[in-house]
Amino acid sequence: MPKIKTAFFCQNCGNQSPKWVGKCPACNEWNTYVEEVIHKEETGRGSWKSNSGATKRTNSPRKLQEINFEEHPRLVTKDAELDRVLGGGIVPGSLTLIGGEPGIGKSTLMLQIALILNQTKVLYVSGEESESQIKMRADRMKHHSDHCYVLSETNTQNIFQQVEAVQPDILVIDSIQTLHSKHVESAAGSVSQVRECTAELMKFAKETGTPVFLIGHITKDGSIAGPKMLEHMVDTVLQFEGDRHLSYRILRTSKNRFGSTNELGIYEMRSDGLREVANPSEILLSQGDEVLNGVAIGAMLEGNRPLLIEIQSLISPATYGTPQRSSTGHDAKRLNMLLAVLEKRGGMRLGQQDVFLNVAGGMRVDDPGLDLAVCAALLSSYEDSPISSGMCFAGEVGLGGEIRAVNRIENRIAEADKLGFKKIIVSRYAVKGVDLSTFGIEVIPVSKLDEVYMRLFS
């Protein structure tokens, strides 16, 4: 009987050590080393073997000028949001990792993609749900496909046997933490198992040109569970975000070897699956006709995508001694800075006032271009006077009360123009060299908060 070989792995970064250490020398985290069995069988090593069925690529070197990537075009899905995030469609032979909180809708998204690709053969492998449970979820969706195959399996060797039999065009794994390989004698979800299973799937994807989607769990701090090496191995890393108590979900790109990392897709979770939100600005704005105090519309950027979002504020006298400063969806420290600027430069007396700020739609924003909209909402609530419903704002506010320029102002103006706004207040320094005659909206350049106040309430 061969001797069992073990080693210690860091559960945070995947670093290997022959003995246990308290502090990881690679990531400086404490008490993250766990002993795992690393004895591997020498026979049958390599996991993925193209014995039959799937076509294996040759590995002969070619001149760079002779390589034509148009021979393998992207697979364009019927999901415009996913295509945008991936950079124009699914790249053959790519390995894509999708992470998100439990219950956010990762499995629903991938099953829906498998169903809408009704002309593409998709193998959906689940290690967490039975085939009947997947069928129940599919019945709720308004899509049908005769080329979607479902397999409930966790052993990678059995999965590759079925892959050779089915020969799918796309492979979906739900989830990578549930798979285990017989070549590694440790529990599923461990560092060595996740690394080995991912390596096997990567080898399969690159040799056959089959796109592979991996669904991954995340830790309590929001990072994808498993070694950090997992994110380095894959081609694309997508984050599926949102509040489970709200209906909207955001698909972000944190790594993309085939496109931009600044794109994002927005979905609405419904009983029959995920609905693409083509124009998110309309859902982030109030649908009521009544103009309220303390409400301002700001033009922001989420990646490369311009959005108009509603900022709500409420200023009221403090009745419990210490004034409250509460912010939902917006950085609380930045709110305190803007309040200090309004007190020092704008003459507002907020020392005995409670201040509440809310970003409508449940989104979290960090674009400094929303500073002007936040200040306008606070001024409106303080003066108890509403802002015209046809006006929006785009600008950063400095400590001296100056209105600073923000990037890609043309996209922000164009988005406000498209949604029917009549006026937009921007920084005077942002419109230098911009041809404003191409827009149907009135652009009002300002340089100080005093000018903004005069425009709003004079």
Same domain (yes/no): 163, 270: yes
b/e sequence 410-438, b meaning 16+ C-beta within 10 Å: eebbbbbbebebeebbbbbebbeeeeeee
Place of tokens 């004034």: 323
Higher pLDDT, 175 or 94: 94
* Phi/psi-derived region of residue 105, left when phi > 0, alpha when psi is between -120 and 50, beta in every other case: left
Residues 254 and 316 in one domain: no
| Count of domains observed in the chain | 3
Highest mean pLDDT out of 221-230, 279-288, 366-375: 366-375
Return the pLDDT at 250. 86
Residue-wise pLDDT tens digits, 226-265: 667 788 889 999 999 887 667 888 898 989 998 888 888 8
364: number of Cβ within 10 Å: 12
Are residues 249 and 299 both part of a single domain? no
Rounded CA-CA distance 99/19 in Å is: 31
Instruction: Please tell me the number of Cα atoms within 13 Å of 412 on its side-chain side.
Output: 31
For residue 378, pLDDT beyond 60? yes
Average pLDDT, the chain: 86
Structure tokens at 242: 């949102």
Residue 107 known to bind ligand: yes
Asked whether residue 25 is assigned to any structural domain, the reply reads yes
Q: Residue 284: is its pLDDT beyond 80?
A: no
Tell me if 228 is assigned to some domain. Answer: yes
Residue 55 lies in a domain: no
Structural domain contains residue 63: no
Which helix (H) or strand (E) segment is 107 a member of?
Answer: helix 106-116
Q: Is 346 annotated as a binding residue?
A: no
The answer on whether 105 is annotated among ligand-binding residues is yes
Q: Please indicate, yes or no, if residue 44 is contained in any of the structural domains.
A: no
How confident is residue 218, by pLDDT bands cut at 50, 70 and 90? confident
Q: Is 357 exposed, middle or buried (0-12, 13-18, 19+ CB in 10 A)?
A: buried
Same domain, 120 and 250: yes
Q: Which residues contact 213 (CB under 8 A, 6 or more apart)?
A: 96, 98, 110, 113, 170, 171, 172, 173
Task: Decide which of 278, 295, 314 is a domain's last residue.
Answer: 278
| Contact between 235 and 206 (Cβ < 8 Å) | no
Let me know whether 178 and 321 are in one domain. no
Check whether residue 127 and residue 194 sit in a common domain: yes
Buried b (16+ CB within 10 A) or exposed e, 120-155: bbbbbbbbebeeeebeeebeebebebebbebbeebe
Residue 443 shares a structural domain with residue 344: yes
For 414-446, what is each residue's pLDDT tens digit? 999 988 899 999 999 998 888 888 889 999 999
Instruction: Give the rounded percent of residues in the chain with a pLDDT score beyond 90.
Output: 49
Binned at pLDDT 50, 70 and 90, residue 386 comes out as very high
pLDDT at residue 420, rounded to an integer: 87
Q: Are residues 212 and 123 in the same domain?
A: yes
User: What confidence score (pLDDT) does residue 423 get?
Assistant: 94
Which among 278, 296, 319 is the end of a domain? 278
Q: Which long-range contacts (CB under 8 A, 24 or more apart) does 426-434 make?
A: 426/393, 426/394, 426/395, 427/394, 427/395, 427/396, 427/403, 428/403, 429/404, 429/405, 430/394, 430/395, 430/405, 430/406, 434/409, 434/410
Residue recorded with tokens 């991954």 = 216
Q: What is the CATH number of the domain that holds 445?
A: 3.30.230.10
Residue 60 covered by a domain: no
Q: What pLDDT sits at residue 47?
A: 57
Section 176-184 average pLDDT: 88
Tell me which of 168-177, 324-333, 372-381, 434-443 is least confident.
434-443
pLDDT of residue 382: 93
Whether 208 and 103 share a structural domain: yes
* 377 close to 357: Cβ distance less than 8 angstroms: yes
Last residue of some domain: 226, 255, 278?
Answer: 278
Residue 52 lies in a domain: no
pLDDT at 45: 40
- What count of other Cβ atoms lies within 10 Å of the Cβ of residue 282? 11
1 pLDDT tier (thresholds 50, 70, 90): very low
Higher pLDDT pick, 242 / 141: 141
List the domain range (segments joined by +) for residue 177: 75-278
Model pLDDT, residue 303: 76
Top-confidence residue, 106 or 35 = 106
Owner of token pair 């559960």: 11
> Does 102 appear as a known binding residue?
yes
Is pLDDT of 122 > 80? yes
Looking at residues 179-196, what average pLDDT do you find?
84
Average pLDDT over residues 155-172: 94
User: What pLDDT was estimated at residue 224?
Assistant: 72
Which stretch, 118-122, 225-229, 281-285, 436-440, has highest mean pLDDT? 118-122
Is 209 annotated as a binding-site member?
no
Instruction: Tell whether 93 and 230 lie within a shared domain.
Output: yes
Kind and range of the H or E element at 200?
Answer: helix 191-208
* Number of residues written out for the chain: 458
Task: Give yes or no: residues 265 and 394 share one domain.
Answer: no
With a cut of 60, say whether residue 50 has pLDDT above it. no
CB 229 within 8 A of CB 14: yes
Does residue 249 sit within a domain? Answer: yes
Whether pLDDT at 2 is above 80: no
* Average pLDDT score over residue span 116-144: 91
**How many Å apart are CA 262 and CA 303, to the nearest integer?**
4
In a shared domain, residues 209 and 196: yes
- Please answer whether residues 212 and 67 qualify as being in contact, where contact means their C-beta atoms are separated by less than 8 angstroms: no
Is 211 marked within a binding site? no
